[in-house]
Every structure is written in structure tokens, then in C-alpha cells.
């Protein structure tokens, strides 16, 4: 090959390389184009940029997914480059020749082709990085919007709860006073009973609202979890029995004490059990378990009721989310549970599927932990 021919060949390779990179950059800039589409169209740019386009096939592998030209087979003479995003290998670009070609700089490939495949891999890595940053920014904005919404709901809820608390206290107090009157006609006695029961239900809602908006600061003292649960079960067991629900308790005798607000913990337990009762309208089994869990304690509340779909599971901790009728649910129970558990430095996990029941696992740090690791929610893993 004379000098002119060599220069011409080098120039042709350079033009092919630039065309390939330019086309990839163009693809990446198309508005609204998904990464998958870019990679699928991007892989088609590979064959024309190599020396023997008619026998060249390409593949881009990223995060376990492959985008390949129609004739790609992972065999024969191959040139590859890793796609490395933020120091992590996430995939590769591979170019193969379908039939053997004579040896050149790197197997049958030119050193310019090595440069090109590396440049393509870097471009794709940058693209993935940029898309990830955009996604992260979007999620962050969503979270901020969500937090804003919650703060507004919280303020509103706190105001309403505060205003209603006093008149409701009066209704309850006067109804209970009236109940003490001797010789009440039976119908009046029954009506008063209904007023008291409804007021208690309304007070429970207000209590949840005030807890949700952190109107009631926690009074933390050393607490035995089992004792709190026993108290809660005392008045929940009769309700379970009325609904045909058998209560099975497996309370570990050697639990460490925790530093917690006992009445808030009781609220956590009551809210979980009331949900379990609602989930088993035809009766069933409620299992309450406690166990030592690393340095902390574990409380599991499990039912074999109707369970939850993935869509429901996604929203259960969102205030006012409910699948129940107006008279049955307010959508405050689980957000309150979540608020209390996290303010005690704990975590809550849920396992459920439609028709398969539900299990709520609450993990709380032990007393000694609370002083040293305030509000570190991820420390208890078991």
C-alpha cells in the first residue's frame, strides 16, 4: 500500500469512527427517547463502523439486558469493551466477525477500532450516568412534594383534631354522666351506649390525628414490651373472640427493656391488631410474637386474613389511604404506627399477598442502644 492509500484508509477509518460516535450522540439527544431504545438503535451503528460491515455483528449488554444486531452470535473473532458506570462494571459492547478475517493489530481488528469501541463504551456509560442522575433528581422532587403534602395534611389535621377534642370530650363526659341516672328507659340507655361508643371511636381517630401531627410528644421511660402487649390484648381479646378470631401469643420471656412511650407503643399494637381483625371478617388466627432481635426487640403481628395486593402495599403508610368504608377506616392507623416506630428509632416491615394474610414486623432498639444510637433506624437487622 503506498503512502497515499494508507492515509486514505486512515482517514476513512476516522470518518467511520466519528460518524458512529456522532450518531450515538444524536440518538442520546432525542427528547423522550428511552435508554433501551437508544441502545437498540445504537447497536446498529456498530457494523458500518468496522472494516467488514457485511460480516460484522454487534451487541450491547447492560445490567443483564442485551441489545444485539440480528446476526449476532457470541462466537468467533470478537472485540469487547466494558461499560463502567461510577467505577462499576455494568455491561459490555461486543463486536464479532461472522467469518474469520486476517490478523491485524488486535486479532483481525484495527487499533482505531479498539479506540472506537472504548469510546462507544464510555459514551454509553456517561449516558447511563446522566439518566440515573435525572431519575434520582425526579425521585427527590417527588419525595419533596410528598413531604410537603404530608406537612400540609399534618398541620390541617392537627388544627382539626385540636378543635374537636374539647367538644367531643364534653359529649362523652355528659353521655357517661347521663348513663349514671337511675331508672333510664331501656331505649334511652341503649342510645346513650351508642353515643358513648361512637364518641370513643371518634376520640380514637382524634388521638391518631394528634399522634400523626406529633401534637403529643413521647414520654419515654424503660418499658417491657410484653407487658404493653398484655395490656393491649386484655381489651382486644374479647373483640377478637366476638369475631371468631383465635389469638395465639408467643411472647419471649427474655426480652431486653426498651426506652419508649408505653402508651404510644400500645397504640402501635392496637392499630395493627384492629387492622388484622378487619382483615379477617369470617374469623381466623391472630398471631402475636415477640423475640430478641440482635440488640433490640421484634414484635410480629400476623393474621391469615384477606392480605394485600402490591398496589395497596405501596400506599399503606400514606396518611388517609384506606380501602375500607367511611365508617370503618380513616387511613390513619398505619401512618401513625410508622411515625411512632421511626420516632423510637425502629423499623417496620410488611409481608403480604392477596388471600395470604399479612405480617407486620416491628423492630425496636433496646434501652442501652437508645442512648448511644439515637434515631438510627437501620441498626437493627434480623
Dist. CA 228–CA 263, nearest whole Å: 8
Contacts of 350 (CB under 8 A, 6+ apart): 308, 313, 316, 358, 359, 360, 361
> For the chain, how far is it from start to end, CA to CA, in angstroms?
71
Tell me how many residues contact ligand ADP (CB under 6 A). Answer: 23
What CA–CA distance (Å, rounded) separates 60 from 68?
6
Is residue 353 within 8 A of residue 373, CB to CB? The reply is no
Joined grid coordinates for residue 351? 409481608
Name the residue among 275, 278, 198 with its Cα closest to residue 243.
Answer: 278
Q: Applying CB under 6 A, which of residues 24, 93, 120, 279 lies at the interface with ligand ADP?
A: 279
Cell 370530650 sits on residue: 169
> Least separation, in Å, of the C-beta of 250 and ligand ADP?
18
Instruction: Tell whether residue 276 is a contact of ligand ADP (CB under 6 A).
Output: yes
Residue 339 touching ligand ADP (CB under 6 A): no
Query: Does residue 275 bind ligand ADP (CB under 6 A)?
Result: yes
Among 113, 303, 304, 370, binds ligand ADP (CB under 6 A): 303
Could you count the other beta carbons within 10 Å of the beta carbon of residue 181?
10
CB of 267 to ligand ADP, least distance (A): 11
150 binds ligand ADP (CB under 6 A): no
Among 245, 308, 340, 362, binds ligand ADP (CB under 6 A): 308
Of 79 and 300, which CB lies nearer to ligand ADP in the complex structure? 300
306 binds ligand ADP (CB under 6 A): yes
Binding status of residue 46 toward ligand ADP by CB under 6 A = no
Task: State the pairing for strand pair 221-223/258-260.
Answer: antiparallel
Question: Nearer Cβ to ligand ADP, position 294 or 331?
Answer: 331
What does the alpha-carbon distance between residue 60 and residue 51 come to, in Å, rounded to a whole number? 19
According to DSSP, residue 53 is labeled G
Burial class (CB in 10 A: 0-12, 13-18, 19+), 290: buried
Residue nearest to ligand ADP (CB): 333
Least CB distance from residue 286 to ligand ADP, whole Å? Answer: 9
Q: Please give the residues from 314 up to 333 whose contact with ligand ADP meets the rule CB under 6 A.
A: 316, 321-324, 329-333
Q: Which is nearer to ligand ADP, 83 or 280 (CB)?
A: 280
Cα–Cα distance for residue pair 96/108, rounded to 1 Å: 10
Examine residue 236 and tell whether it contacts ligand ADP (CB under 6 A): no
Based on the shown chain and the rule CB under 6 A, indicate whether residue 61 belongs to the binding site for ligand ADP: no
Q: How many CA atoms lie within 13 A of 234 on its CB side?
A: 8
Assess 361 for contact with ligand ADP (CB under 6 A): no
**Minimum distance from residue 380 beta carbon to ligand ADP (Å):** 22
Query: Which residues of this protein are in contact with ligand ADP, per CB under 6 A?
Result: 271, 275-276, 279, 303, 305-308, 312, 316, 321-324, 329-335, 358
Amino acid at each position: 500500500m503506498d503512502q497515499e492509500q494508507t492515509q486514505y484508509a486512515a482517514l476513512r477509518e476516522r470518518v467511520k469512527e466519528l460518524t458512529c460516535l456522532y450518531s450515538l450522540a444524536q440518538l442520546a439527544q432525542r427528547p423522550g427517547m428511552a435508554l433501551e431504545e437508544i441502545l437498540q438503535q445504537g447497536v446498529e451503528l456498530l457494523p458500518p463502523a468496522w472494516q467488514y460491515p457485511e460480516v460484522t455483528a454487534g451487541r450491547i449488554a447492560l445490567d443483564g439486558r442485551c441489545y444485539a444486531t440480528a446476526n449476532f452470535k457470541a462466537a468467533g473473532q470478537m472485540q469487547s469493551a466494558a461499560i463502567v458506570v461510577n467505577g462499576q462494571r455494568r455491561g459490555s459492547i461486543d463486536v464479532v466477525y461472522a467469518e474469520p478475517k486476517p490478523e491485524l493489530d488486535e486479532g483481525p481488528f484495527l487499533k482505531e477500532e479498539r479506540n472506537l469501541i472504548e469510546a462507544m463504551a464510555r459514551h454509553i456509560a456517561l449516558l447511563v450516568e446522566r439518566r440515573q442522575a435525572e431519575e434520582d433528581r425526579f425521585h427527590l422532587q417527588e419525595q419533596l412534594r410528598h413531604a410537603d403534602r404530608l406537612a400540609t395534611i399534618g398541620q390541617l389535621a392537627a388544627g382539626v383534631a385540636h378543635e374537636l377534642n374539647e367538644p367531643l370530650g364534653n359529649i362523652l363526659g355528659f353521655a357517661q354522666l347521663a348513663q349514671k341516672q337511675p331508672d333510664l328507659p331501656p331505649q334511652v340507655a341503649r342510645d346513650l351506649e351508642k353515643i358513648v361508643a361512637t364518641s370513643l371511636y371518634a376520640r380514637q381517630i382524634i388521638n391518631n390525628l394528634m399522634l400523626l401531627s406529633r401534637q403529643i410528644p413521647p414520654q419515654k421511660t424503660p418499658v417491657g414490651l410484653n407487658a404493653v402487649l398484655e395490656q393491649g390484648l386484655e381489651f382486644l381479646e374479647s373483640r377478637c373472640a366476638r369475631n371468631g378470631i383465635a389469638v395465639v401469643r408467643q411472647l419471649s420471656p427474655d426480652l431486653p427493656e426498651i426506652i419508649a412511650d408505653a402508651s404510644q407503643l400500645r397504640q402501635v399494637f392496637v392499630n395493627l391488631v384492629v387492622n388484622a381483625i378487619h382483615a379477617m371478617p369470617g374469623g381466623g388466627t391472630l398471631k402475636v410474637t415477640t423475640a430478641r432481635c440482635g440488640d433490640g426487640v421484634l414484635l410480629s403481628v400476623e393474621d391469615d386474613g384477606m392480605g394485600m395486593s402490591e398496589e395497596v402495599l405501596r400506599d399503606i403508610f400514606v396518611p388517609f389511604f384506606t380501602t375500607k368504608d367511611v365508617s370503618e377506616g380513616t387511613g390513619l392507623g398505619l401512618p401513625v404506627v410508622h411515625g411512632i416506630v421511626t420516632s423510637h428509632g425502629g423499623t417496620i416491615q410488611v409481608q403480604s399477598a392477596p388471600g395470604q394474610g399479612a405480617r407486620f414486623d416491628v423492630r425496636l432498639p433496646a434501652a442501652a442502644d437508645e442512648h448511644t444510637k439515637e434515631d438510627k433506624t437501620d441498626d437493627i437487622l434480623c
